[in-house]
Amino acid sequence: MSALGRVVRSGVGRRRVQTVVIGLATTMAVTSSVLGGSLLVASTAPFDDAFAEQRGAHLSAQFDAGKATVEQVSGTATLSGVTDAAGPFPTASVTPDTSVGPENPPTLTVVGRTDPGGSVDAVTLTEGTWVDGPTEIVLSADGPLSKTPTGSAVGTRLTFPDLPGAPTLTVVGLARSVSRTADGWVAPSWITSPEGYQMLYRFSAADTAEQVDAGRAAVTAAVPEGALNGSQSWLVLKKTADRSIAVFVPFLIAFGVLGLFMSLLVVGNVVAGAVGAGTRRIGILKALGFTPAQVVRAYMGQALIPAAVGTALGVVAGNLLAIPMLAETEEVYGAVTLTVAPWVDVVVILGALAMVSVTAWVSALRAGRLRTVDAIAVGRTPRPGRGQWAARLTARLPLPRPISLGLARPFARPARAVAMTAAVLFGATAVTFAVGLAASLNQVQIARNHDSADVTVGSMGPGMMGPGGPSRRPAADPAAISAVIDAQPGTRAHYSTATTRMTVPGVADFTKVVAFDGDATWDGYQMTSGRWFDKPGEAVAPTTFLTATGTKIGDTVTLKDADRTYTVKIVGDVFEMSNDGMVLFTDARTVTITDSEPQRAGHFIALQPGTDVTAYTNTLDTALKPLGVNAEPGGKNQASETLILINSLTATLTLMLVAVAAMGVLNAVVLDTRERVRDLGVHKALGMTPRQTIAMVIASVVVIGAVGGAVGVPVGVALHDVVLPAMGDSAGIGLPASVFTVHNPTGLVLLGIGGLLIAVLGALLPATWAARTRTATALRTE
Amino acid residing at 474: P
Nearest of 4, 20, 674 to residue 299 by alpha carbon: 4
> Least Å distance between CB 422 and other proteins?
23
How many whole angstroms separate alpha carbon 755 and alpha carbon 423?
10
> Least Å distance between CB 700 and other proteins?
12
> Least Å distance between CB 273 and other proteins?
19
Q: Where are the beta strands (DSSP E) in 404-459?
A: 455-457
Q: What are phi and psi of 514, to 5 degrees?
A: -110, 120
Q: Give the DSSP letter of residue 737.
A: H
Q: 3-class secondary structure for 694-709?
A: HHHHHHCCHHHHHHHH
Element (H, E) at 288: none
**C-beta closer to other proteins: residue 83 or 781:** 781
**C-beta closer to other proteins: residue 633 or 690:** 690
CB atoms < 10 A from the CB of 781, how many? 13
Nearest of 754, 705, 723 to residue 422 by alpha carbon: 705
How many whole angstroms separate alpha carbon 405 and alpha carbon 394?
7
> Least Å distance between CB 679 and other proteins?
6
**C-beta closer to other proteins: residue 685 or 737:** 685
> Least Å distance between CB 278 and other proteins?
21
Q: Are 500 and 598 in contact (CB under 8 A)?
A: yes
Q: Are 340 and 326 in contact (CB under 8 A)?
A: yes
**C-beta closer to other proteins: residue 651 or 776:** 776
**C-beta closer to other proteins: residue 649 or 695:** 695
**Residue 487 burial (C-beta neighbours within 10 Å; 0-12, 13-18, 19+):** exposed
108-112 vs 184-186, strand pairing mode: parallel
Q: What are phi and psi of 372, to 5 degrees?
A: -55, -45
> Least Å distance between CB 770 and other proteins?
11
> Least Å distance between CB 279 and other proteins?
17
**C-beta closer to other proteins: residue 741 or 781:** 781
> Least Å distance between CB 771 and other proteins?
7
**Residue 691 burial (C-beta neighbours within 10 Å; 0-12, 13-18, 19+):** exposed
**C-beta closer to other proteins: residue 612 or 679:** 679
**C-beta closer to other proteins: residue 164 or 384:** 384
Element (H, E) at 453: none
> Least Å distance between CB 280 and other proteins?
17
**C-beta closer to other proteins: residue 396 or 638:** 396
Could you list the residues that contact other proteins (CB under 8 A)? 382-388, 391-392, 395, 398, 400-402, 408, 412, 678-679, 681-692, 771-772, 774-776, 779
**C-beta closer to other proteins: residue 46 or 681:** 681
Longest dimension (CA), the chain: 107
> Least Å distance between CB 689 and other proteins?
4
How many whole angstroms separate alpha carbon 720 and alpha carbon 734?
15
Q: Are 447 and 736 in contact (CB under 8 A)?
A: yes
**C-beta closer to other proteins: residue 564 or 772:** 772
Query: Does residue 680 sit in helix, strand or coil?
Result: helix
**Residue 299 burial (C-beta neighbours within 10 Å; 0-12, 13-18, 19+):** buried
Packing angle of the helix pair 641-675, 292-332 (nearest 10 deg)? 170
Q: Where are the beta strands (DSSP E) in 327-434?
A: none
> Least Å distance between CB 698 and other proteins?
16
> Least Å distance between CB 376 and other proteins?
18
**C-beta closer to other proteins: residue 409 or 494:** 409
CB atoms < 10 A from the CB of 103, how many? 11
> Least Å distance between CB 686 and other proteins?
5
Nearest of 234, 236, 240, 230 to residue 120 by alpha carbon: 234
> Least Å distance between CB 680 and other proteins?
10
How many whole angstroms separate alpha carbon 340 and alpha carbon 319?
7
> Least Å distance between CB 412 and other proteins?
6
**C-beta closer to other proteins: residue 139 or 669:** 669
How many whole angstroms separate alpha carbon 217 and alpha carbon 628?
53
**C-beta closer to other proteins: residue 90 or 681:** 681
> Least Å distance between CB 677 and other proteins?
12
Render the burial of 747-763: b for 16+ CB within 10 Å, e for the rest. Answer: ebeebbbbbbbbbbbbb
Q: Are 445 and 646 in contact (CB under 8 A)?
A: no
How many whole angstroms separate alpha carbon 77 and alpha carbon 57?
12
Q: Give the DSSP letter of residue 397.
A: S
**C-beta closer to other proteins: residue 555 or 679:** 679
Q: Are 77 and 85 in contact (CB under 8 A)?
A: yes
Whether residue 134 has a cis bond before it, omega within 30° of 0: no
**C-beta closer to other proteins: residue 214 or 682:** 682
How many whole angstroms separate alpha carbon 688 and alpha carbon 364?
36
Handedness of CA 236, 241, 243, 249 (dihedral sign): negative
Q: What are phi and psi of 334, to 5 degrees?
A: 65, -120
**C-beta closer to other proteins: residue 113 or 676:** 676
> Least Å distance between CB 778 and other proteins?
9
